[in-house]
Structure 1
C-alpha cells in the first residue's frame, strides 16, 4: 500500500498527474490518495491561529462553528462506509501538522507541511511508500522534495518518489515509477519479516 501526497490539484486530477494511480495499480500496487478534506481542515486550523493572533474573537467563534459543522458532515459521510474504509481513516489534521512540524515550522503555511506530515503519517500507519506529486517549479512542492532528503535519512529504507508534472511525459518517467515499485516491493517483503519502523 502506497500513499499519494502533494499538491492538491495535481494529486486529484488524473490528467494532471498522468494517471499515476492507474500506473501504480497496473504494476501491482494498492494506492490510497490523500483526501481533499485535509486541506479544508488545515485552512480552518490556520485561520483559527490567525484570529487568535490578531485578536478577532468573533471570527474565531465563526471559524470554530464552521469547523465543528464540517466535522459533523465528515462523520456522517463516512458512517455508511465505515467498514469499507476501515484502516484508511484520515488522521486528525492537528496530528498531521505536528508530524510535519518535525521538519517544517507551522508558520510556513501551505501544502508542504501537509505533504511532509502525511509522509510521516504513512510510515506511522505502516504504508510501504509515498509518491509526492507536484506541478513543475511548484515552491511548496520543491520545499517538500528538499525536506524528503532529511526524511530519507531518518527513515532510510522507506521508499519516497517525487514527481513533477509540466503537461508532458518525461523520457524516464516510467523508469522512475517502475524503480519505485521495485523499492516498495522490497520494503514490503522486509517489513513482513521484521518491523522496520516502530517508534516515532
Structure 2
C-alpha cells in the first residue's frame, strides 16, 4: 500500500496522532482560511464564518458557541465526536489501527514509515497531520496549541480529568489528555482513538 497516496488528510492525522490530531487539523484548517481564530492569551476558539466543508469541521462548529470555547475543550470534544470516530472506524476496517486501542497496527506502522518522507518545515495541513503542532506554520496558533498541550499534560499527570461526556469541570476545560504528550504522537497510553493519541 502506498500510504502517502492512499490516506486522506484526516486518515493521515488519525494514523499519525490519533483522534486529537484529527481535531487539530480541522481547527487549524478553519483558522488558516479565516473561518475561525484562536485568540492569543485567552486560547479561545472563535468562529468567524460558520461554514464547514466536511463532517469534522461541522463537529468543530457544533461544539463552539457564539461566545467561543477554550481550545483544550474544543479539541477534546471534537476528538470524541462521531465524525472523528468514523475516521478511526475506516482505518480499523482496513487493518491500519487496532480494534481495541485504536493505535497503529503492524500494517499501520508500515504506513507510518512511508509517511516519514512527507515531513517538511511547517506551513501545510498535511504537515500538521503528520507531525502535529510543530507543523503549524502560524507562530501564534502554534503557541496556543503548545500551551494547551502543557495544560493537557499537567491534567494527565494529576489524574484529575473526566470524560468529555461527563460534567464540565476545570480538568476538561484545560484540555483532556488521553494519548501522547510532546508533539502529539501515540504513546501506547490510555485508550483508543476515540479519546486520544494527540497531546496537542
Instruction: Give yes or no for TM over 0.5.
Output: no
Query: TM-score if structure 1 supplies the norm length?
Result: 0.27
Query: TM-score if structure 2 supplies the norm length?
Result: 0.27
Structure having the higher strand fraction is 1
Q: Larger radius of gyration, structure 1 or 2?
A: 1
